[in-house]
Amino acid sequence: MSKKKSQFVLDARQAAFEIIFSVVYLRESLSNLFPMLKKQVAAQDLSLSRSLIYGVLRQWGALSELRKELCKSPLQEGEKGQAVAAILNLGIFQLLQLNLAEYAVINETVNLAKKNGLASAQTLVNALLRRVQREKDACQTALVKHKTANLPPYLLNAWKNRAEELAAVQSSQPPFSLRLRVGENGISAEQFLEKYPDARKNQLCKSAVVLPSGADLQEITEFVEGKVSVQDAGAQLAAEILAPKSGEKILDACAAPGGKTGHILEIASNVDLLALDCDERRLEKVNANLSRLALAAKTALADAADLASWWNGEKFDAILLDAPCSGTGVIRRNPDIAFLRQEKDLRNFPKVQMRLLRELWKTLKNGGRLLYMTCSLLPRENNLLIEQFLFQEKTAKLVPLDLPCCVDTGSGYLHFPDADGDGFFYCLLNKA
């Protein structure tokens, strides 16, 4: 397989192929690969490239199962076989999931094989895609039948009883949600929906609205004015659960990129808020978000669990701990997660989470509250971890919540990804 790394602009399909191959087989992250996309793909082709990348990665498992059924014999081992698999999956996805001219899709996919040093595979690519074209309905049915193959094994094993539901959602496009600012400098849902009738109310969070897919944020004047922010409704729910009050001393322990920091200040601007993050570049995003919203908070570069590096001994009334996690609740938004997460990562996250929870508990006032949350769906990072903490920390008391869109796990509440928001776990604890 030849890889183009020159200054010349790549076409949409070539760029998509290179990024898909890099994620699936080289385990590179989209955040590292997308800068190349913006530099080497013409602006008018970016939308198609991104649609291909996200669509194929979200449905990689089902596309691969269908491809295996259609191929008379297994593909050759090694890099060339992997490249052919990526090209075939890319072609099948376009024929079955996008409204594109079928003859053009087939021709461009055959040419893609040739351009990448796979001329010997052109006949196979042409024959298989023409079969998909002829048997389109049956192939569509097969793709749906295999949808649970899109889930990584660890997620499938954790939620076998919800596999069909999870798989259907994970292969879909996530909602484009905005947070509406409250108060005199904000805008109500009624006002926003009157001005933007294509948007809709969000069922998960009262501060959220959902824009139609493909909406242009630059056309939303309220974004520039700081009256709305881009934030998933599941993330917005955090500040509502924490319920900050005027005059409180609050810690946002893992704050980047700053969406929840801003939301806390929008709800109660007269608070003493400290936002921490251990990544300098990500902390810059917190400051940028606060600047856009014209809000003020103290920010510090620190590992929240290393108390000696940042804590002055003054205890907090409330703490928001959005802990580092596997991200299994946001795979449809970040489909590379399914390929990047390894078992060693899944074993390590609970250790990091428990360390943060135990250390930050020391900084909370008696009578104070801590909201532990993750964007994970895995019990070992959520309710099982909280059960362990409650057993060991006798001053911690679970606070019951009324979250109708969430599942009560007995030790916190889990929102499965749906049309209104991503997957999140919430657990509010009081300190006796």
Q: What end-to-end distance do the CA atoms of the chain give, in Å?
A: 62
Kindly give the confidence (pLDDT) of every residue in the chain, 432 residues in length, as a single tens digit, with 9 standing for 90 and above.
545 444 446 899 999 999 999 999 999 999 999 998 888 898 889 999 999 999 999 999 999 999 999 998 889 889 999 999 999 999 999 999 999 999 999 999 999 999 999 999 999 999 999 999 999 999 999 999 999 999 999 999 999 999 999 999 988 999 999 999 987 789 999 999 999 999 999 999 988 999 998 888 889 999 989 999 999 999 999 999 999 999 999 999 999 999 999 999 999 989 999 999 999 999 999 999 999 999 999 999 999 999 999 999 999 999 999 999 999 999 999 999 999 999 899 999 999 999 999 999 999 999 999 999 999 999 999 999 999 999 999 999 999 999 989 999 999 999 999 999 999 999 999 999
Q: Which residues of 16-35 are buried (b: 16+ CB within 10 A; e: fewer)?
A: bbbbbbbbbeeebebeebee
Coil/strand/helix, residue 294: coil
CA 20 vs CA 13, 55, 123, 199, 294: distances in Å: 10, 10, 22, 32, 39
Structure tokens at 408: 């009560």
pLDDT in tens, 270-298: 999 999 999 999 999 999 999 999 999 99
The reply to whether domains 12-150 and 233-431 share a CATH topology is no
Q: What is the pLDDT of residue 38?
A: 85
State the pLDDT at residue 4.
46
Fold of 12-150: N-utilizing Substance Protein B Homolog; Chain A (1.10.940)
Active site residue 405: no
Which residues neighbour 227 within 8 Å (Cβ) at sequence distance 6 or greater?
Answer: 180, 181, 185, 186, 187
Residue 321 tokens, joined:
């701990």
Return the pLDDT at 174. Answer: 94
Q: Listing from the earlier edge strand, what are the strands of the sheet with 176-180?
A: 200-201, 208-211, 176-180, 228-230
pLDDT of amino acid 282: 94
Percent of the chain with pLDDT over 70: 98
Calpha distance 215→26 (Å, rounded): 33
Catalytic residue among 375, 405, 406, 427: 375
Which long-range contacts link 332-335 to residues 24+ away (Cβ below 8 Å)? 332/58, 332/169, 332/170, 332/171, 332/172, 332/173, 332/174, 332/417, 332/422, 333/174, 333/232, 333/422, 334/30, 335/23, 335/30, 335/54, 335/57, 335/58, 335/60
What topology is assigned to 233-431 in CATH? Rossmann fold (3.40.50)
Query: What is the predicted pLDDT for the residue at 381?
Result: 98
Q: What is the pLDDT of residue 184?
A: 77
Interhelix angle 136-145/60-70, rounded to 10 degrees, is 130
Q: For the chain, give every domain's residue range.
A: 12-150, 233-431
398 near 411, Cβ under 8 Å? yes
Q: For residues 131 and 320, give the distance between their C-alpha atoms in angstroms, rounded to a whole number.
A: 54
**Residue 327: predicted pLDDT:** 97
